[in-house]
Chain A
Amino acid sequence: GAVVSQHPSWVICKSGTSVKIECRSLDFQATTMFWYRQFPKQSLMLMATSNEGSKATYEQGVEKDKFLINHASLTLSTLTVTSAHPEDSSFYICSAAVNTEAFFGQGTRLTVV
C-alpha cells in the first residue's frame, strides 16, 4: 500500500513555543491530506482538511490560528501548533488518500511542558 510518513514521531516543547509536524506521501501525490488528533483512550478526531495550493478547511471548534496548516506541494503538508500549551499535548495523525482509501502516518506524540 501507499506510504505516509510523519516527522517527528515525538516532540517535547516548552509552553508558549511553536511546533511543526510534517506529513509526507512517499510514493504518491496527494492533493488532499487530513489531520487528526487522538487523546489517550479516545478516538481520532478530524481537525482539518489540508488542500494543496489553497487554504485548509477546519472542523468546527478547531482554532485555525492556533493550528496552522500548509500544503505547499503534492507530497507535503505541515501542521504547526502555535503558542503550544499543555492542553495541546496529544497524538497527531495525518492521512492521505489513494483511490478513496486512506493511509495513515505513524503519528506524532506532542508533549507540551
Chain B
Amino acid sequence: AQSVSQHNHHVILSEAASLELGCNYSYGGTVNLFWYVQYPGQHLQLLLKYFSGDPLVKGIKGFEAEFIKSKFSFNLRKPSVQWSDTAEYFCAVNAGTSYDKVIFGPGTSLSVIP
C-alpha cells in the first residue's frame, strides 16, 4: 500500500529564511507527486505537482520541489519565506499509471515569524 511520511510536524522560521520540507513515499511503481497547501480557514490548494520529466518542479508562489527517485523523496523548498506562507503543507502521492486515490502525508505546519 502507498504511504507518505513528512519529516517535520511543525516548523517555525523567521521571514526571509530558507525552507525545506521533507517528504518520502513508499510505492514501488510509477507515481504522481503533489504538494498541497492549506491556509488557515481555507481549503486545499495545489502548490505543485510532478508527473514525469524534469525532476525539479516549480510551482506557485516561489515554491519548488525535487523528485529523487532513488530516495523516494519529493522535498519542498522555498529560498525565502514570507509571513503569508504560514499554513499547513501536505505532501501527497497517487499511482502514476492511472488515476487512483490520493494518499496524503500527515502534514507539516509552518509558522513564519515576521
Which chain A residues have a beta carbon within 8 Å of chain B's beta carbons?
A: 1, 32, 34, 36, 41-46, 49, 93, 95, 97, 99-102, 104-107
Contact = CB atoms under 8 A, between A and B. Distances in A.
Contact of B104 (A43, A101, A105, A107): A43
- Interface of chain B: mostly helix, strand, loop or mixed: loop
Residue of A1, A93, A101, A106 with most partner-chain B CB within 10 A: A101
A50 B43 CA distance: 21
Given A42-B107, A106-B43, A107-B43, A100 B99 contact: yes
Contact of B103 (A41, A46, A95, A101): A46
Task: Determine the interface band of chain B, counting residues with CB < 8 A from chain A.
Answer: 20 to 34
Contacts of A41: 109
A60 to B, nearest CB: 10
Contacts of B75: none
B101 A49 contact: yes
Interface string B80-114: 00000000001000101011011111110100000
B101 A42 contact: no
B86 to A, nearest CB: 14
